[in-house]
Amino acid sequence: MRFGTILIGLQIFLIIFILLIAVSTHLPYLFTYGTGESMQPTMDSFTFTLVDQTGDTSDIREGDIIRFETDCEQSFTGNDVVVHRVIEVTDDGIITEGDNNDYVDQDIDCIDNVTSETYRGTVVEYWNPISTFSE
């Protein structure tokens, strides 16, 4: 009985999650998730993020976590979207780094400084249901 209840709850959660992602791509806030380990320990794999897509690069400060596109062809869309922390704001753009990385993103050939053309929003909230469930 308990396993069945958990299964039904999981199915409802997945349906709501899919609907939120479908709807949020057209709203000022985007509900999405990440699968990498580059932002550990701040964000684990499968962390859900709420991204404010209304700001611009002039609102970004050191320490913010932002979402941006790169020229890396690592996803099915041809452009890889990355969620990493801002470590420096310069006149030439924004320098980013994953919390779990020991190099800045811009050391990778296919990632330039984040600009208004590649900036996709600032993470305003994040939550990992797997780590929350295991606590």
For the entire predicted model, the pTM comes to 0.75
State the average pLDDT over residues 92-99. Answer: 95
- Arch. (CATH architecture) of 29-134: Ribbon (2.10)
State the average pLDDT over residues 90-113. Answer: 92
What percentage of the chain exceeds 70 in pLDDT? Answer: 81
The pLDDT assigned to 96 comes to: 96
Q: How far is CA 19 from the centre of its chain?
A: 18
Model confidence at 87: pLDDT above 60: yes
